[in-house]
Amino acid sequence: MRTARSVAALTLALLASGACRSAGDDTASANDRWALTAPAPLPPRHGALVLAVAGKGLVLGGSDESPCPPSASCRTAPRPLRDAAVYDPAADTWTKAPPAPVGLGPLVPTSSAVVGDTAYVLVQGGQRRAFLSYDLSDRTWRRLPPPPQVSTAWFALSTLGRDVVAYVSSHDPGLNRRDHRPPDQAYDPAARRWRELPQDPLGPSSGRTMVATDTGTVLLADERPRYPLVRPPATETAVLDPRTRRWRRLPDSPPGISGSALPAGGRVVNLLLQHGAGEAADKWGRRYPYGSGVLDVRSRRWSALPPGRPDVPTGTGGPGFASGAGLVVASGVALDVATGQWTRVPTAGAAPLPRTGEGSAVLSTSTGPVVLEFGGATWRGDWSTADLSGAGLVWRPAG
C-alpha cells in the first residue's frame, strides 16, 4: 500500500466546491454547504475521536499512517496518536491541548463520555487499558482508577447525572471471561470511586446500550429471539433515575426496531439507516419491516420516525452517528427532533469520492447546533491510496 497523501488535495476540493474558511460569515451559516474552520494545529489524520465538551469540539488522537482500505485485511494496525486540540465555534479558533497519556487510534478500543467540561475516555484491549479524564477548564489529563473487572468484561461509557457509567456492552460469554453478567458500574468524580449499579430488570442480553437523557439514563437491550420465530425481536428498554438509582421498566419497541440509539433531550432516537426495504418473515409468511423509531421517555411511548427523511445514496459519506442540541446526525441526514424536520447534510468536497475515518460531533452553541467534522481519508483510484485531511469543517443547519 502506498503512503497516504497530504491534506492539500482535499483542501483544494473543498475550496473548489465553495466551502468558506470563516465560520462566522453568511456562507458558513447557510445549510447547503460546509465551511472550513481556521487552520487546526494538528497534522492530517484519520480515525480521530471528536467530542462535544461545553460547546467546544475536542479532537483526540487518530493516526497519520495509511488507513486500511474498506473490506481489506491489513497485517498491522496504524500507529495511534496522542496529540489533541480544542475548537471554539464562536471565535473560529483552535487551541493545542496537552497530549493524552496513551495513544488513541482508529483500532484502539475506546469509549467516551462527557460530564460538564470534562471528557472521560476508557481504553480497553491488550495492554492499553486506561481510564482517563481531560478537564477543559484547567487543561489537565488525569489517570483515574479503571472500573472493576475491566480486564475480564467489555465496558462502554455513558453518564448518570454527574457520574460516569461503565456498562457491560454484551453478556456474551465470549466477551466476559469470568462472569457472564458482570455488574454495571458508576464512577463518582468527587469521591474518585466506583460503585455497582443495581441490576437492571431486562435480564441477560447479547447487545446493550445506555444513553443519558433529560429524564434519566435509558438502557436498550436486544430482545432474545424466541423460536419458532413469530416476529422479529424488539428492543427492551428501562430507565435509571439518577437521584433514586432505581430502574423503571419501559415498553418494548415495536417489532424489528434496531440500530444506533442517540439521545435528544427527553427522547431516544433509534436509527437504522439502510437503503431499500428490510423485512423478516415468520413461519406463516407474515412480514415485519425492520426500521427505526423514537422513544419518548417521559410519556413512555414509541413512535415512528417523522416522515420526509431524504434519500441519501450509499457511499456519499458525511458525519457518522452524533447528536446534540436536539439534533441527530447520521450518514448524510440530520433530524431536528423537536420539530420533526429532516435535512440532507451537504457533501463536503467537489467530487463524491469515498471517504472514511472522519470524526464528528454536534456542538451546542448559543446560536444553535454546529456539526464539527475533522480529518478523514479520501480514497482514490483503486483504493490503494488515500489523501489524509487535517482540515476542520463546520456545518450550521438552518433554523
Number of CB atoms found within 10 A of residue 4's CB: 22
Say which DSSP state 176 is in: -
Distance CA 14, CA 11 (A): 5
What per-residue confidence (pLDDT) applies to 136? 96
Distance CA 313, CA 226 (A): 35
Q: Which CATH superfamily is domain 8-70+78-395 in?
A: Tricorn protease N-terminal domain (2.120.10.60)
- Residue with cell string 433515575: 241
- What are the average pLDDT values for consecutive 10-residue runs of the chain, which has 399 residues? 43 43 40 88 96 98 88 79 97 98 90 97 82 97 91 89 95 64 93 95 91 96 71 88 96 84 92 56 56 91 90 64 91 89 79 73 94 90 83 89
What per-residue confidence (pLDDT) applies to 321? 85
What per-residue confidence (pLDDT) applies to 182? 86
The residue among 319, 348, 317, 358 whose CA lies nearest residue 15 is 348
- Residue with cell string 474558511: 21
pTM beyond 0.85: the answer is yes
Kindly give, in sequence order, each residue whose CB lies less than 8 Å from that of residue 221, ignoring residues fewer than 6 positions away: 200, 202, 203, 205, 207, 208, 209, 235, 236, 237
The residue among 158, 159, 157, 150 whose CA lies nearest residue 124 is 150
Q: How many residues does the chain have?
A: 399
Q: Are 250 and 269 contacting, i.e. CB atoms less than 8 angstroms apart? A: no
What phi, psi does 217 have (nearest 5°)?
-95, 120
| Distance linking the first and last C-alpha atoms of the chain | 45
What region does 82 belong to: left with phi over 0, alpha with psi -120 to 50, or beta?
alpha
Kindly give, in sequence order, each residue whose CB lies less than 8 Å from that of residue 174, ignoring residues fewer than 6 positions away: none
What per-residue confidence (pLDDT) applies to 43? 97
Radius of gyration of the chain (CA): 21
Kindly give, in sequence order, each residue whose CB lies less than 8 Å from that of residue 224, ignoring residues fewer than 6 positions away: 204, 205, 206, 233
